[in-house]
Structure 1
Amino acid sequence: MSNKPWLRHYPAEVPPTFEYPAHNLAKFLVDSAAGHPEKIALEFMGAKISYGTLLDHCYRFANALLKLGIGKGERVAVMLPNCPQSVIAYYGTLLMGGIVVMTNPLYMPRELEHQLKDADVRLIVTLDALVARVKNAIGVGGDGLDYILVTSVKDYLPFPKNVLYPIKAKKDGMYVKIDYGRRVLSLKELIKGASPEPCEAAVDGEKDLALIQYTGGTTGFAKGVMLTHANLVANTLQTHLWFYRGREAEEKYLAALPFFHVFGMTVLLNKAVYMAGTLILMPRFEVDQILKAIDRQRPTVFPGAPTMYVAIINHPDVRKYDLSSINVCISGAAPLPLEVQTRFEALTGGKLIEGYGLTEASPVTHANNIWEKRKSGSIGIPLPDTEARIVVPDTLEDVKPGEIGELAVRGPQVMKGYWNRPEDTYKTLKEGWLLTGDLGRMDEDGFFYILDRRKDLIIAGGYNIYPREVEEVLFEHPDVAEAIVAGVFDPYRGETVKAYVVLRSGAAPDEASLKQWCKEKLAAYKVPKIYEFRESLPKTLAGKVLRRKLVEEENEKPQL
């Protein structure tokens, strides 16, 4: 596509193209520590760690790996929530030329075993509470892992929290005794005894992998996405160019998105470190803790998922907290309802924009302008050096403007391919274009709209129904806090639309009212026929609602 109508909507400050260095991704940390050694890099439950100290610990971690015989190009798994240890293990591995495999701490042994074996991981860094699960998943030694590096939440807590934590853990039944040995090692002791000598492996940014990031595994086992140093450097800088009012060494990032999710890794971890910003580490999203953190620690940037913003705007005591420090939020991982955007911006006075990405693109490809023209319901326009088209999936031919097809993207952030899966790589990467699997359209201004995943499309009585369109209507109802729709089996129509609804506090279930609301705003065939009221919806740690889990629950019910 030679025509790029979106370029005329670029702010004057944003260049359409840029020269991206192909250095080691960890150079961002080295540079920020050199320029701002005393600047606070991490805030964690009262502890504060400067850039100088952080880099020192990362060098020590890198040298410890080398001493253990872990070499360049070998895989190191990091199975931690957002905490200082996760940042140290991530950048320390990159500094010595290793490949990071970020792993969800909630994974069960079967899921964990697949990732560790598939990536041929030699060493894993994890919490004491998760060691038994790791050992369950795969043996230590032999054909399994060579080493388990064990850390505890208390290791980076300030006094007296570090003393009180084990007492509380014992009281809560969470205390774990670790049998250390030749292959099960203390991360804290390893770092303390390692060399602080600078260690920065030379890499071929275009070829050498920084990361194997596993996708959600919506069909069978998850696939490992191969992201190079150049991919992640480029995407960090692309998002930086978009956030052109960002101030070096002044921004504070609320890190509620987990770093083991590629969205949190790029727009929080890599981006904040590049900017010498402060990361306020939140081990998990708990709305009360988030509101207190915003009120007391005054973050300026808060990337998240729509469910996070939904939880905040619907909190009964939200007006007791000062949220005015928030300047910029980018929402990803799921569609952002207009109602949520409007209410959140009114509460904070900041900007909340919708963007779009996928693991295979490091992940960000599109975003709405933060301070210039934006369109509600749109994922925005392609970032610098990113091309996008709406195509017929089988032929890669462009559809006519305004018509629906599959979104295809191309740019420096697009993956090298899938780890050990050449057939899947071939199906997904066509002539340099990444087929996203998302159905969408582009308007005359070059703004893109995602309707839904191809696999989430509901076909009822021959009609195509896009869940997002129905969900937007449900969100507008004054009693609805959260909603998601899915296609469920129907003997006559093939599929029918079912709505799963979480009500706002104090509201009573009223199926007739919701159905009438939808009838007034949607064609009859799009109106949900079934309504299920729930206390909550199943979500990932990144805040993405698991539509697949709801469909699986439905399929397990006996058909009448």
Structure 2
Amino acid sequence: MLCPKCHRPLADESDGPYICCAGASMQWQCRQCAKVSEGFALPYGRCPHCNGELALREDGAANSDDARSIRAVRMAFEIELGGRAFYQRAAAASTDDAALRALFERFAVMEGEHMETLARRYHLDIPDPSPDFRIEVAAIFAEVPHAPRGGVDTGDDLFRIAIALEHRAAAFFTEHAARAPQGAPEQLLFQELAAEEREHAELLTTEQARWRERRPGLFGHEQPGTGQLPINAAELVLGGKPAERVAIECGGQRITYGELTDRVARAAGLWRQRGLHSGDRVAVKLPDGIDWVVAFLGAIWAGGVAVAVNPHIPASEWQFILEQAGFNVILAESDADTPEPWKSRVVLVDEGRRAVAAAQPIAPTRLDPETPAFWCHSSGTSGRPKAVVHAHRFAREVQRVSVERLGLVPEDRLFASSRLFFSYPQTNIFFAGLKLGATLLLDPQWPTAASVVATVQQMKATVLFSVPSLYRVLLADGHAPQLAAAGVSRCVSAGEALPAALRQGWADASGIQIIDGYGASEVLVLVLTSVAGDDGLKPSPGVTVRPVDPEAAREGLPSRLCIEVSTLALGYLDQPAAQADSFRNGAFCPADLFVATPGGGWRFAGREDALVKIKGRWVNLVELEQRLSQDVPGLAEAACACVPDADGLDIVAVFYAPQPGRGDEVARALRDRCETLPSYQRPKLFQAIDTLPRTATGKLVRRRLVDMARPGH
């Protein structure tokens, strides 16, 4: 079946099917993605592609708007064709520099993939590139001098032209966006392209600095190293254990360290057979289990870059990661939710398991310690998930905090309520657990309070890693004593702040003091920890912490921290602005705020967006919600947000989830408690909800609370 407008097949691989309803003449345009749909009003009036708001188009607007959009896309094609041709020619000119050649080849692919996305979105053909393109042409367009030494462009010459090209293109698209009609599809397109070109310029600047220092770039291709001995992170994690010791138990399956190492080496051999080269990315989109571990470590063993993906990932996020990563291999249970051209790269888990068993094991590929080994994705509380790139060196001391601060030993049996795609369990039971020789207990099913209790009891876990929201449910349902009776001797909490009342309640019910930890995808380990008797969170062994604003910290005011640790990531992929803000002089500076304690520790004070000004006074939303919710009978959980009132002025709103049948009781208790607060801290809006919005890894998404307060939600 063909589209009635352009006579193309109705399937749109990037954005879903093109909508046509019986040839009706009405047209609707999405204000967010600019996609046009023909026919009657769609259910709920939302865009079927991105869920954006739809607007009815006036007669005649369709043809003129479409014509302008097509002209804009063709103009974009001309610019991006030039960019791709330059990067292809620059790669060819870098024959003596493998790292530079790989970098420019990657940028050429990025330009081509973006053109394919535009072509699918707007039903247009990509024009053919000019075979006569020359680097001198790019230099002229970029308005930079071009005088290659001895007729040969140096790496710095190519970087200089590339960065100038991206800046020139960004200025070009910005200028055209300003001329376009406000809100028109071509304006949205030009704004998108301008932002992309600016990001490319910043990324090239970062890569040039890495190239000059002979450090591997974020894309992970080999180049002359730092002078350190080459290593392989998977080999470091698995090596030196008794072959007969049990490494993993999952349901009725178990595998020893000797068997696991052999299977990982075979998986690496399989990936190599399928064309994997150093720096190529392998997606592991599976439930937790032995297959997950083998595939992930096998990619690293082969010199590739392993990427764990939530098997329940929403389609829009999966599309975003696919376009970002360009996976060589995707291991999954199904290919149904993976669009082309990536669908052809999916290896189904049953097929992969058989192929691994038949493959020949290979020796680990040892690389410079600064070479990328794996990506993990930030949890996305402030927007789209960011790909965090970690180097092979992370494995050298990934177990140190677990041994020296958490007190783990090889005889421990480790279980985490969160799944392995989340960096908290990925670090603390997977990497650190295997490195110290403990036994990992894995559960492929999606976690619930009941499933956590059942797994701990059946598999006899000695250490439980979980998050405050689940500890709260387990405590309320009376499971804390059961877990202690089942053999759990240590409980660790991270992922969000652990309320003091919850920590004390758990200790009273189970006899176990929860170890509170603070970590991040960018540093992997729990860089700040608090055990019984500590005054706040203390720097963990091997971690150095200093406040970004020492003066504010001395005065007891919130400050961001700079955290130095050997497991620090290389940075973010394609996020130069975020990289500059978060990675400073060899340290990670998260957006979280902390207040110094008298005992030399740090108390979590929320993120920067949790510190808001109401009536000219600063209000810390994290502290406020803890004061409001502590010991309120019938209250499951609560959170605060800053929202506009009817006049557009900022007010504090409290969103609370009462236990069944206790909503009125909880509302009265919260309002009574508010009367004890200073006037500027008192919430003006009280809204009952079923549950607080959280990420797949359990973190509160405060920005969604703001959406809930809007009229009509």
**CA distances 1:83-132 after superposition (whole Å, capped 9, x unpaired):** 2221111111111111111212222222112212212221111123xx21
- Distance in 2 (CA, whole Å) between partners of 1:134 and 1:554 is 35
1:50 CA displacement: 2.2
- Distance in 1 (CA, whole Å) between partners of 2:416 and 2:463 is 9
Unaligned runs of 5+ residues in structure 1 are 1-19, 153-185
Which residue in 2 is equivalent to 1:105?
311
Contact persistence 1:538–1:545 (CA under 8 A): yes
Matched-pair identity in %: 22
Aligned to 1:26, which of 226, 234, 241? 234
Aligned to 1:203, which of 354, 367, 378? 367
- Distance in 2 (CA, whole Å) between partners of 1:145 and 1:486 is 41
Which residue in 2 is equivalent to 1:391?
548
Amino acid at match of 2:539: P
Amino acid at match of 1:267: N
Amino acid at match of 1:514: L
Pick which of 86-95 and 292-301 moved more: 292-301
Q: How many residues end up aligned between the 2 structures? A: 483
Matched, 1:300 2:498: no
Aligned to 2:243, which of 17, 37, 46? 37
More helix by share: 2
CA change 1:381–1:99 in 2 (3 A) is: same
Pick which of 51-60 and 326-335 moved more: 51-60
Equivalent residues in 2 for 1:411-560 (5 A)?
411-473=565-627, 474-491=629-646, 494-504=649-659, 507-510=662-665, 511-520=667-676, 522-555=677-710, 557-558=711-712
SS of equivalent to 1:498? strand
Amino acid at match of 1:290: V
Which residue in 2 is equivalent to 1:261?
422
- Distance in 2 (CA, whole Å) between partners of 1:321 and 1:456 is 34
Of structures 1 and 2, the one with the larger relative CO (CA 8 A, separation 6+) is 1
1:455 CA displacement: 1.8
- Distance in 1 (CA, whole Å) between partners of 2:479 and 2:660 is 12
Amino acid at match of 1:346: D
Contact persistence 1:29–1:55 (CA under 8 A): no
**CA distances 1:247-300 after superposition (whole Å, capped 9, x unpaired):** 22x101113221111111111111111122122212321111111222232211
Contact persistence 1:252–1:278 (CA under 8 A): yes
- Distance in 1 (CA, whole Å) between partners of 2:593 and 2:583 is 17
- Distance in 2 (CA, whole Å) between partners of 1:423 and 1:319 is 47
- Distance in 1 (CA, whole Å) between partners of 2:482 and 2:566 is 44
Contact persistence 2:663–2:688 (CA under 8 A): no
**CA distances 1:441-474 after superposition (whole Å, capped 9, x unpaired):** 2123320112111123232222222122122220
- Distance in 1 (CA, whole Å) between partners of 2:423 and 2:382 is 19
Which residue in 1 is equivalent to 2:336?
132
**CA distances 1:393-419 after superposition (whole Å, capped 9, x unpaired):** xxx876434222222222222221212
1:329 CA displacement: 1.9
- Distance in 2 (CA, whole Å) between partners of 1:311 and 1:232 is 34
Amino acid at match of 1:484: A
Aligned to 1:47, which of 253, 276, 280? 253
**CA distances 1:232-253 after superposition (whole Å, capped 9, x unpaired):** 543432333212x3222x1011
- Per the normalisation by structure 2, the TM-score is 0.64
SS of equivalent to 1:360? coil
**CA distances 1:178-212 after superposition (whole Å, capped 9, x unpaired):** xxxxxxxx2122112211x352111222x111122
**CA distances 1:282-335 after superposition (whole Å, capped 9, x unpaired):** 232111111122223221111111011011001156656654522222211111
CA change 1:406–1:494 in 2 (3 A) is: farther
- Distance in 2 (CA, whole Å) between partners of 1:513 and 1:400 is 36
1:542 CA displacement: 2.1
- Per the normalisation by structure 1, the TM-score is 0.80
- Distance in 1 (CA, whole Å) between partners of 2:234 and 2:515 is 28
More strand by share: 1
- Distance in 2 (CA, whole Å) between partners of 1:552 and 1:127 is 35
CA change 1:324–1:307 in 2 (3 A) is: same
- Distance in 1 (CA, whole Å) between partners of 2:380 and 2:456 is 34
CA change 1:84–1:512 in 2 (3 A) is: same
- Distance in 2 (CA, whole Å) between partners of 1:319 and 1:420 is 47
Amino acid at match of 2:349: T
- Distance in 1 (CA, whole Å) between partners of 2:510 and 2:389 is 38
Which residue in 2 is equivalent to 1:116?
322
Amino acid at match of 2:277: G
Contact persistence 2:656–2:687 (CA under 8 A): yes
1:150 CA displacement: 1.2
CA change 1:25–1:298 in 2 (3 A) is: same
CA change 1:124–1:496 in 2 (3 A) is: same
Amino acid at match of 2:392: H
- Distance in 2 (CA, whole Å) between partners of 1:322 and 1:406 is 36
1:507 CA displacement: 3.3
SS of equivalent to 1:26? helix
Amino acid at match of 2:645: D
- Distance in 2 (CA, whole Å) between partners of 1:340 and 1:498 is 23
Aligned to 1:344, which of 494, 506, 516? 506
SS of equivalent to 1:59? helix
- Distance in 2 (CA, whole Å) between partners of 1:465 and 1:398 is 16
Matched, 1:63 2:269: yes
Aligned to 1:381, which of 519, 534, 538? 538
- Distance in 1 (CA, whole Å) between partners of 2:480 and 2:385 is 38
Which residue in 2 is equivalent to 1:241?
404
Contact persistence 1:82–1:255 (CA under 8 A): no
Contact persistence 1:410–1:433 (CA under 8 A): yes
Pick which of 100-109 and 65-74 moved more: 100-109
What is the root-mean-square deviation in Å for CA atoms of aligned residues? 2.5
Which residue in 1 is equivalent to 2:439?
278
Contact persistence 1:70–1:122 (CA under 8 A): yes
1:496 CA displacement: 1.8
Which residue in 2 is equivalent to 1:228?
391
Pick which of 328-337 and 293-302 moved more: 293-302
Contact persistence 2:236–2:395 (CA under 8 A): no
Matched, 1:212 2:379: no
Pick which of 508-517 and 63-72 moved more: 508-517
SS of equivalent to 1:202? coil
**CA distances 1:33-69 after superposition (whole Å, capped 9, x unpaired):** xx33222222222222222222222111111001111
**CA distances 1:412-452 after superposition (whole Å, capped 9, x unpaired):** 22221212333432232223332211122212332011211
SS of equivalent to 2:514? strand
Amino acid at match of 1:242: R
Pick which of 224-233 and 492-501 moved more: 492-501
Contact persistence 2:381–2:700 (CA under 8 A): no
CA change 1:458–1:81 in 2 (3 A) is: farther
Larger Rg: 2
